[in-house]
Structure formats: C-alpha cells, structure tokens
A and B are shown apart, each in its own frame.
Chain A
C-alpha cells in the first residue's frame, strides 16, 4: 500500500494555497471601467517596455476593421465588441477592458483545462491499453487509475467555469453574449449549435460519459483482483472498447466546444484530433513521471526500466504525432491563405510569437533530440527532465489556443497564470496521490500481470 508522504501532501496544499492567492490577486486587479483599463495598459507599458511591443499595433488593427463587416476579424472578441458599440474610440477602450477582465478567467480556464486534459488523456491511454490487451502495461494500471481520479474534481471545476461563463461572469466565449450575437450574422448562423443551453448539456454528457467509464472500469479492475475468474476483466475490455468509440466522438466535439468556439469565427476540421494529440502526450508524460516518482520511493518494485522505456517511447512518438498534426493544420492554412481561416495564425504569429514558436521547440525539437536514444529513455532523470519540458510545452499549447481569443494582445504569463497553474497542479497532485493510497499499487489477478512483471525489452 502506498502512503501519501507528508511532504508531498503539504507541498500540494501549499501549491493550492499559493494558487488561490495568485488567482485572487489576478481577479482583484482587474479594471472595472474602460478608463481604468486604458490607464492600466499605459502604466503597464511603462513597466514592461519592449515586452508588449505589439500593443501599439492594436489600435491600427482595430481601425482596419469597420464594425461588423468582415467575416472573420483578427480578434473575434474584438469584432464582436466593435459590432456592439457605435462609438469607435470608446469601443476600443471597452474592448480593452473586456480583454483585461478576461485575463484571470482565461488563466484559470487554461490551467483547469490543462490538468483535466492530462487526466482525460491518461483515461484514453488506459482504455487503449485494455482494449489492445497490452502485456506490458497492467503493472501501471493503478497509477493510471490514480491519475484519472482527478477527472471528477477537474470536470466539476470546468463545468462550474462554463456555468459562470453562461451567466456572464466573464467574456471568454463571446458567442454566449446575446448582444454580440445580435450583431454578428456569422455567429447567428452557428447558434443552432453554439447556444448556452445546448453547450452545457453537451458538456454534461461528455463529462458524465467519461467519468462513468472511469468509475466502472476502476470498479471492475478492483473486482478482478478479488475474483476467481476473468469475468470482470472481459467486462472491462468491453467497456474500454465502447468508451473508445464514445471518446473518439466526444473528444472532437469537446475541442470544438471548449476551445475552438473561443474564436467563434474560425474553424478547422483537424482541430479535434490536434487537441487529442496534445492530450495524449501530456497524459503519457504524467504517467511516466508519477511512475518514476513512486518507483523512486520503492513502491513499484516490479516496474523496471523497460516499462519506463516504453512510456518514453510513447512520449517520443506522440510528440512527433502532435507536431505532425500541428504542422498539417498550420501549413495547410498558411499555404492556402484563405482570409477567414488565416487570421487565426496571423494573430498568433503577430501577438504570440514567442509562445507560439517556443512551444514547437519544447514539444518537438527537444523531445526529438532527447528521447531519440534508446539508452536515455531508460534513465529516470532524463525522462523526468524531458517530461517537464513536454508538459510546459503543452501548457503553452493550450495557452496559445485559448488566450488570443480571450485577452488578445494583453497576454502575459504573470501572477494570475502562475497562480492558476499552481492551484491546479496542487489539486491534481493531491487528488492523484490520495487515490493511490486507497488500494494496493499492483493489480493481483489481471491475466496479463505476469507478462507485465516479466516484461523486458
């Protein structure tokens, strides 16, 4: 049995406390009037100098876009706001205010989604391992089940954020604002799908389905340990196959709903699978890191470096797969250069140059070079180091997907962002390791457990 070490527990709690503090600071320091927003940005510019060189371009960008005329502006949020207001100067300040008001919310949402996505990625990986009858991984099933326990609290937080968004506590999803929709023919065209009620129903169905599978599978997995036959194992196999079908469909829809709709004028057919790749690679990375941690504490005596090697291969492979999808999406849009699509990348390259290209280095170049060597993939600290970079890179990936549509060029990775990250990291660690203490870390009667224990590669 695993015991949650006090140091780790206190560490998690401290992370959460610091996070709440950071997020609180973020929410308190939000401007409440357009004038305040204007003043803040002016002060901010003095403070940070070159950091926000793009800022000065912003009025020009806004000026190029007469209200409500073009199908997809560079800032969907901006367009919508412009459409709503008649006075241009005032509308710009108001727009700025909305962006600044969005910042702590977006920081919260990015971090909440990032950790939720890890947990969901692990769940999908777990289901694949079960459905494909993998012989190497059953030894890690408890670790994966521990991580997926976070689906429940993580899912609740996400759902609450959505409910608050629908209730207009923030402006992250512009299409939820009836005034904006009234002025925007394009969003009106989508309102059959993008409307608050249906959105919440869908989110509830997705979350319900995922959590249901997680709970059923966990129960069957534990029941199998005590059983005399393989009935539970077979049942679990069937549930996993069924879940994967459900997941294939809901994951795509989830990414349209939860992320793509932040830029409601933009669309890409690949988007769902792109988010999937990001989810998988982060999930597998976390499995590897938690496994290495537990092993280093002596809790997983049968896990050997071949298991780590396999996980690291998956980290490597999915990093490349992620890059493949990133590049496919980017290159096709860049190549055809169709105005209604290309704005998505134009804003990102203009306003988010460093995070946008930085994440390619972190998510592709780094793992490619570090995890190519077979020997390195067996070295624990190497895998941990690569894992930290990959996780940071995929945090940035989510950041790049969400922020440009909510805060535009008013982005910064400061106290609100780090606070939210710290809070959810703490919650994630707390929940994961608390679940790990509940049952023995090694499944007993899984039909493949012996194969997994003997696994050498």
Chain B
C-alpha cells in the first residue's frame, strides 16, 4: 500500500496545471507532429558524421590497424578510451532507472526513459570498439565459447577482455528488456491515440497488446523491481569488469585496487553529465519544461557533484598511495602524469572532473540551466581525458625506459570517434521523434502526489 501523504516541503515534480490528459498530449505531441527544419539539419549533420565514421571503420578493417596512431608500446589508446567513455556514459541510464527506483526517487520518472535510451545507444557505440580494434575482426566470433571443429577449442576464461564480452552483451540485453517493458504502456497510449493506420499498426506491434489490466500492472511493477534489483549489481559489475581490463594488469598506474568502484563512480558522473546535456536541450525543443523541471536539473547536478567528489577522492587516494607504496615505478607513473609530456591532459582531467563539479555547491549555479549545460559538457570532456590519461600515460612510459614513446592519433582514430558520436545522435534523434520520451505511465503515477495542480488542491483542503 503506497501512502499518498507527502511532506509539504517537497517541491512539485510536475509543474503547470497538468492533469492526466495533459500528460498524454504533451508526451505524444513530438511523435504525432512532424519534424521541423532544425531536426532535419541536426539529423543530417549526425548522419554525415556517421557515414564518415563508417568510412573510417571500413578503411581500418580493410587496410589494417596500422592506420591508427597506435605503436608497439601504446597499443591501446583512442579505441579503448572511447570504449570506456561510451560504456561509462551508458551507466547513468541504468542508474536512473534501476538505482533511483530502488531508492524510490520519484523525480526519476521524468528522466528515466531518455536516460535508458541514452544507455542503449551509447552501449551500442561502445560495443563497436572491441570489434574494430581487433587485428582480425572477422574472427571475433572466436571469443564466444561455442563447440567447434578445432577439437572444441575454447576460450580462456581468465581474461578480463572475455569478461567484457559477457558483461557488455548482458548489459545491453538486460537494459534493452528493461527499457522495452517500461515502454509497453506508453506505446499502448500512442497506439490508442494514433489516427493514421500505419502508425496504429506499428505501435500495435511494439506495444505487445498491452491493455493495462490490474493483473498486468501488478506483474509489470514486480518485473520492474526485479529487473531494477538485477540491473543494479549489473551496472556495478559491468564497469567493474571494464576497469579490470586495466586493474588486473601489472602496469604501474593501471594496477590499483580502487579502480572498480572508482570507475563506477566515474561512469555515473559522466553518464549523468550526458543525461544533463541531452535533457536540457530536449525539454526545450519538445516543450517538456513542465516535466523536466529546474528541480530535476538541480538534482542531477547534485549527483554530478557527489560522484565528482568521490572521483576526486579516488584521484587523491591514488596519488597518496603511489607515494606511500614506496614503489618507484608507481611514483613515477603519477609524476609522469602530472609533469610528463601529457601534463596538459592530466591538468584538463583534474580541472574538469574535480574542480568544475564543485561549483555545484552553490544553489545559484546548480539551478542555472546555462551553467549546468556548460558544466555537463565540461565533465564529459574531462571524463574522456580521464580514460585517455589512465590508458596512454601509463603505457607510454613504464618499466623499461628503452620502450618509452609517445602517442598521437591519426585522422582515422579521430574519424571513428566522430563517427560514433554521429551514430549516437542519429539514434537519439530518431528516438526522440518516435518514442514517448517521458514515461507517461510513471509520471501519471506521481501526478496526484507530486503534481503542482494536486498539491495546490490539497493545500486548499480539497481531496
């Protein structure tokens, strides 16, 4: 039994005089309307980037990895940096939909759909890199333990790169199922409103015949809770396994036990920053300011601030322990980060990740939409550099000085990264026009307790 009592000091989560019908209309509007010119312009840019990226990928695979800027010492750079960056971004979606559900955060209702979409689209981008960074990607299926004609030659289960395969594929499948089950009532709403037969047909197909009976809802809620309970350890373990790629090694700067929780904190940090970037635009162009309010932005900023502080604490811990350990390689790895040839990347990472989120301590700043937008982008740049710094600065100078070298990317490295950004936005832009971007069923469930209209009614003494 959910109680309807809410403390008066809680601010409304749905503003404007919205009732149930208004919610449906507002959320269906972008789907039922036509795309405007700006949408087509942005979509074309994203598509062009994607096509450029595809070209770069084809060139890599047909010519060889040597087209990248990698060398014998730095044999992981932009590829894995981008991979970890995209996976990290993908984590906020599951965090919002699963962890915030477990913590009964009602404000997640307005943002979970887009956050999950973002998860799925960025995990797709991430999933490209493990394949295209292979020397022989056409043999990629060998990483799967399937019985075969080589005397049943199997994979070695000791490699974190294999765990990555399981982690990422499970993560993508579970996120997809979680997202889609949540979409059923919303697709049904679009289906029931559709006037064009083609739309009706499509939304009938994707809503799986949802009729919204009591028993369906009861099971729906239970499934959501179970999936949230499963997705939470999943989200922790996936990025943990990604961090194991580095932490299980013996490379100074990589081998450190704090990586698992620290990567997860960084993932939440960068993921929330990306959600912030996307939603600040989305609330504007889709006219959803009544649902994604300044309070939502403020709360996301607080999470960015908290996880940013945790990441900062981890940076300092690493620095301290490197000194404390008395291991000269470890000490040099950090000295090299701060004062070596990549000092600028380290400085950028430190200032973007540790310093910039601290401004959120000021209420004026964290409730400012413009500053939030800027900081969210700054954080994503910083988090890209965090992965770059961890990967490249640890590799380019390690045990043997005779193997020290530098790294610089080629246009192919950069082109593939741009391509994934393009691909991401192609998917996200298509999503924003065809999917209900806010979970209307969930928003309706909090409308009476947290909608401003009903709050005012309640304050006036009406039930």
Contact = CB atoms under 8 A, between A and B. Distances in A.
B358 to A, nearest CB: 10
Contacts of A325: 260-261
A329 B262 CA distance: 12
Contacts of A270: 256-258, 260-261
Interface residue range, chain B? 35 or more
Interface in B246-265: 247-250, 255-261
A189 B261 CA distance: 28
A269 B256 contact: yes
Given A248-B310, A269-B257, A193 B324 contact: yes
Interface centre among B3, B244, B259, B326 (most CB of A within 10 A): B326
B9 interface: yes
Given A248-B309, A248-B310, A269 B258 contact: yes
Interface string A336-348: 1010100000000
Secondary structure of the A side of the interface?
Answer: helix
B324 A336 contact: no
Interface in B301-338: 309-310, 313-314, 316-318, 320-321, 324-327
Interface in A115-173: 133, 135
Given A328-B261, A335-B248, A338-B255, A448 B326 contact: no
Contacts, number: 93
B6 A267 contact: no
B41 interface: no
Interface in A389-432: none
A8 interface: no
Contacts of A332: 244, 247-248, 255-257, 259-260
A336 B6 contact: no
B1 interface: yes
A438 interface: no
A193 B326 CA distance: 12
Contact of B326 (A186, A447, A455): A186
Interface in A375-390: none
Contacts of B259: 328, 332
Contacts of B7: 135, 447-448, 450-451
A245 B309 contact: yes
Contact of B257 (A186, A333, A447, A455): A333
Contact of B318 (A71, A245, A269): A269
A333 B260 CA distance: 13
Contacts of B6: 451
B8 interface: yes
A350 to B, nearest CB: 21
A269 B317 contact: yes
A447 B5 contact: no
A190 interface: yes
Contacts of A293: none
Interface in A177-230: 186, 189-190, 193, 230
Contact of A320 (B233, B255, B310): B233
Interface centre among A269, A271, A331, A450 (most CB of B within 10 A): A269
A451 B317 contact: no
B224 to A, nearest CB: 14
Contacts of A44: none
A112 B68 CA distance: 58
Nearest to B9: A447
A340 B321 contact: no
A456 B2 contact: yes
Interface centre among B1, B2, B261 (most CB of A within 10 A): B261
Given A71-B326, A249-B316, 20 more contacts: A190-B326, A248-B310, A248-B313, A252-B317, A267-B324, A269-B318, A273-B258, A324-B237, A324-B240, A324-B260, A325-B260, A329-B257, A331-B248, A332-B248, A333-B257, A336-B255, A454-B3, A456-B2, A457-B2, A457-B104
Minimum-distance CB pairs A-B, first 7: A269-B258, A270-B257, A328-B260, A454-B3, A454-B5, A189-B326, A335-B248
8 contacts: A252-B317, A324-B233, A324-B236, A325-B260, A332-B260, A455-B3, A456-B3, A457-B104
Interface of B: 1-3, 5-10, 104, 233, 236-237, 240, 244, 247-250, 255-261, 309-310, 313-314, 316-318, 320-321, 324-327
